């Protein structure tokens, strides 16, 4: 596809890199020449310097032949305008990043009346992900499939884990727990697990299961299930606003520490059931006074990555609660993963996955629509959900008879409301939601899993 990306910030750079790797023709637009060069020096992409919301610049970028325009500048108004201009200049599809709550509530109008294909809010998506892990604090991350009826859940195997030293095959034989093991991360290694794989303490594993079964599994590996009753949030930006909304009916008591007085006052005025403290977020005495040692969760959501990391490392020493850390920069992902900070949220990666999923589905698949896509292990393993169409090459054949490509795992089949953890005799039917975990990134059609 011919894709134009307006805005060469961190999100734009991430998208350009990912979409280029998938074989798309990329053109980037930014008013700052240095930002354009940051993309064109690293990947095979065309660059145009200028205002991406003007028809002149979009024409220079080739809007007439574009299949998709993605506007991800730092200004909501510019993103919306760029999308509208693109719709007037061509027949391409458009995606706009919209961060403010005021504009995002207008999403139905923007899509229906102005013709935008997607309106994305990274702060809202990050808040929703944080809310999920607070519901299930022993998990590192929870990714929903099949409209939430099945989940891909990551755990770190704790010290003294009863399944350490056990193979996958032994676990399945010894325990009646309806889960399917998908991946393991051990140091720099990342694998799709097989029956003879041996678990070790501190492995990060992912499973596919229904929510109830994932909870049962967490008990089996040594976690005490505990609900988060209270949380300290450091930082009062947009993610915090959305998170307060997401958690207001859960009964979780929230205390927010924000150093900026205007931000603190806004939070207090918009959310009457939370406690807002206007104080230095890095003050150890303030954190102690607000109960960091007893809190069920500590969530670092300031606008500064370094501060979030330091606060989370401090909380790791002082608290046994759930730790959540928001990181905007993705450059040091490998280093951050080595810190074992429990749950790390990357808003830019969340919306990048959403856009990549849409871009693949736009190309049209022969045997099934892409419904959901997540990077299970960034750049190495991904999970894709397909709805199987009539005429698909995978339908009507026992899984044991399908010639699957190496590094592909059919992880789950949803048939109506029933979850099938697939075995060799199971058959995929038309209309099934099929979840595939694959070391082959860039799958666009379910038939791509076949040799």
Q: What is the pLDDT of residue 310?
A: 94
**What is the Cα–Cα distance from 318 to 341, expressed in whole angstroms?**
13
φ, ψ (nearest 5 deg) of residue 60:
-60, -30
**What is the Cα–Cα distance from 256 to 264, expressed in whole angstroms?**
8
Domain end, chosen from 165, 197, 220, is at 220
Nearest to 444 by CA among 380, 362, 360, 379: 360
Note whether residue 127 is domain-resident. no
Note whether residue 351 is domain-resident. no
Residues 211 and 284 in one domain: no
Note whether residue 352 is domain-resident. no
Q: What is the pLDDT of residue 296?
A: 93
Q: What is the pLDDT of residue 83?
A: 95
- Band (368; pLDDT cuts 50, 70, 90): low
Residues 199 and 162 in one domain: yes
The crossing angle, in degrees rounded to 10, of helices 347-362 and 122-135 is: 110
Number of folded domains that form the chain: 4
Kindly state the average pLDDT of the residues 160-172. 90
- Which helix (H) or strand (E) segment holds residue 242: the answer is helix 238-247
Residues 237 and 301 in one domain: yes
Q: What is the pLDDT of residue 312?
A: 94
pLDDT over 90, % of the chain:
57
pTM: 0.86
Question: Which residues have CB under 8 Å from 143's CB, separation 6+?
Answer: 151, 152, 153, 372, 374, 376, 383
Domain end, chosen from 61, 96, 120, is at 120
Domain end, chosen from 67, 87, 120, is at 120
Note whether residue 128 is domain-resident. no
Kindly state the average pLDDT of the residues 15-30. 92
Note whether residue 350 is domain-resident. no
Note whether residue 129 is domain-resident. no
Tokens of 125: 């998506």
pLDDT top residue among 106 and 73 = 73
Kindly state the average pLDDT of the residues 368-390. 83
Q: What confidence tens digit (pLDDT) does each residue in 391-413 have?
A: 889 999 999 999 999 989 999 99
Residues 110 and 6 in one domain: yes
CATH of the domain at 63: 3.40.50.720
Taken in order 132, 121, 108, 270, the sign of the CA dihedral is: positive
Residues 331 and 369 in one domain: no
User: What burial class does residue 32 get, using C-beta atoms within 10 Å of its C-beta: 0-12 exposed, 13-18 middle, 19+ buried?
Assistant: exposed
Q: What is the pLDDT of residue 364?
A: 55
DSSP-assigned letters across all residues of 387-404: EEPTT-TTBTSBGGGS-B
Q: What is the pLDDT of residue 341?
A: 86
Note whether residue 225 is domain-resident. no
Kindly state the average pLDDT of the residues 325-338. 79
- Whether the CB-CB separation of 295 and 323 falls below 8 Å is answered with no
- CA atoms within a 13 Å half-sphere pointing along the CA-CB vector of 68: 25
Residues 430 and 407 in one domain: yes
Q: What confidence tens digit (pLDDT) does each residue in 61-97 have?
A: 999 999 999 999 999 999 999 999 999 999 999 999 9
Q: What is the pLDDT of residue 331?
A: 67
Kindly state the average pLDDT of the residues 286-294. 92
The mean pLDDT value of the chain amounts to: 89
Note whether residue 424 is domain-resident. yes
- Band (365; pLDDT cuts 50, 70, 90): low
Pair type for strands 204-209 and 180-186: antiparallel
Q: What is the pLDDT of residue 260?
A: 94
Kindly state the average pLDDT of the residues 127-132. 93
Burial readout 63-92 (b: 16 or more C-beta within 10 A, e: otherwise): beebbbbbbbbeebebbbbbbbbbbeebeb
The number of angstroms, rounded, from the C-alpha of 13 to the middle of its chain's C-alpha atoms is 17
Residues 84 and 176 in one domain: no
Q: What is the pLDDT of residue 30?
A: 97
Residues 21 and 100 in one domain: yes
Nearest to 153 by CA among 416, 410, 440, 411: 411
CB neighbours (10 Å) of residue 303? 14
CATH of the domain at 216: 3.30.70.1450
Pair type for strands 343-345 and 204-209: unpaired
**What is the Cα–Cα distance from 55 to 182, expressed in whole angstroms?**
47
Q: Is it the case that residue 367 has pLDDT exceeding 60?
A: no
Residues 339 and 367 in one domain: no
Locus of tokens 């040799």: 451
Nearest to 215 by CA among 247, 178, 246, 183: 178
Q: Is it the case that residue 305 has pLDDT exceeding 80?
A: yes
**What is the Cα–Cα distance from 172 to 199, expressed in whole angstroms?**
13
Q: What is the pLDDT of residue 154?
A: 93
Kindly state the average pLDDT of the residues 136-142. 91
φ, ψ (nearest 5 deg) of residue 107:
-55, -45
Residues 150 and 242 in one domain: no
- Domain containing 237 equals 230-345
Tokens of 357: 């999923």
The number of angstroms, rounded, from the C-alpha of 334 to the middle of its chain's C-alpha atoms is 17
Q: Is 89 left (phi over 0), alpha (psi -120 to 50) or beta?
A: alpha
Q: What is the pLDDT of residue 358?
A: 84
Residues 285 and 183 in one domain: no
The number of angstroms, rounded, from the C-alpha of 222 to the middle of its chain's C-alpha atoms is 26
Locus of tokens 């009863």: 162
Q: Is it the case that residue 227 has pLDDT exceeding 90?
A: no
Residues 172 and 70 in one domain: no
């Amino acid at each position: 596809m011919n894709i134009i990306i307006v805005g060469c910030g961190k999100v734009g750079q991430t998208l350009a890199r990912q979409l280029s790797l998938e074989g798309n023709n990329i053109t980037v637009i930014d008013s700052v020449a240095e930002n354009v060069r940051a993309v064109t020096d690293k990947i095979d992409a065309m660059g145009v310097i200028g205002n991406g919301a003007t028809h002149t610049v979009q024409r220079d970028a080739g809007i007439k032949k574009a299949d998709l325009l993605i506007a991800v500048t730092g200004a909501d108004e510019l993103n919306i305008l760029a999308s509208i201009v693109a719709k007037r200049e061509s027949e391409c599809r458009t995606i706009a990043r919209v961060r403010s709550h005021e504009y995002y509530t207008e999403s139905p109008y923007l899509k229906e009346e102005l013709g935008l294909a997607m309106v994305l809010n990274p702060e809202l998506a990050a808040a929703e992900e944080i809310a999920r892990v607070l519901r299930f604090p022993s998990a590192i991350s929870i990714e929903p499939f099949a409209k939430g009826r099945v989940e891909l859940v990551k755990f770190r195997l704790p010290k003294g884990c009863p399944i350490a030293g056990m193979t996958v095959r032994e676990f399945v034989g010894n325990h009646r727990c309806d889960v399917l093991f998908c991946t393991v991360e051990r140091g720099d290694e990342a694998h799709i697990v097989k029956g003879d794989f041996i678990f070790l303490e501190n492995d990060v594993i992912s499973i596919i299961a229904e929510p109830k079964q994932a909870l049962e599994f967490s008990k089996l590996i040594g976690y005490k299930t505990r609900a988060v009753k209270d949380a300290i949030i450091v930082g009062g930006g947009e993610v915090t606003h959305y998170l307060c909304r997401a958690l207001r009916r859960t009964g979780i008591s929230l205390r927010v520490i924000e150093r900026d007085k205007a931000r603190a006052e806004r939070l207090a005025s918009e959310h009457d059931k939370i406690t807002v403290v206007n104080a230095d977020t890095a003050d150890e005495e303030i954190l102690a006074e607000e109960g960091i040692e007893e809190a069920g969760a500590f969530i670092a959501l300031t606008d500064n990555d370094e501060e979030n990391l330091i606060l989370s490392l401090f909380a790791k020493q002082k608290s046994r609660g759930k730790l959540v850390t928001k990181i905007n920069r993705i450059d040091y992902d490998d280093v951050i993963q080595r810190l074992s900070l429990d749950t790390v949220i990357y808003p830019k990666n969340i919306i990048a996955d959403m856009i990549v999923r849409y871009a693949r589905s736009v190309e049209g698949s022969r045997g099934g629509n892409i419904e959901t896509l997540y990077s299970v292990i960034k750049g190495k393993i991904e999970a894709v959900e397909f709805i199987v169409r009539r005429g698909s090459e995978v339908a009507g054949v026992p899984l044991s008879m399908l010639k699957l490509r190496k590094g592909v795992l059919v992880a789950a089949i949803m048939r109506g409301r029933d979850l099938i953890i697939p075995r060799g005799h199971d058959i995929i039917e038309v209309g099934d939601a099929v979840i595939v975990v694959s070391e082959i990134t860039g799958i666009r059609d379910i038939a791509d899993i076949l040799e």
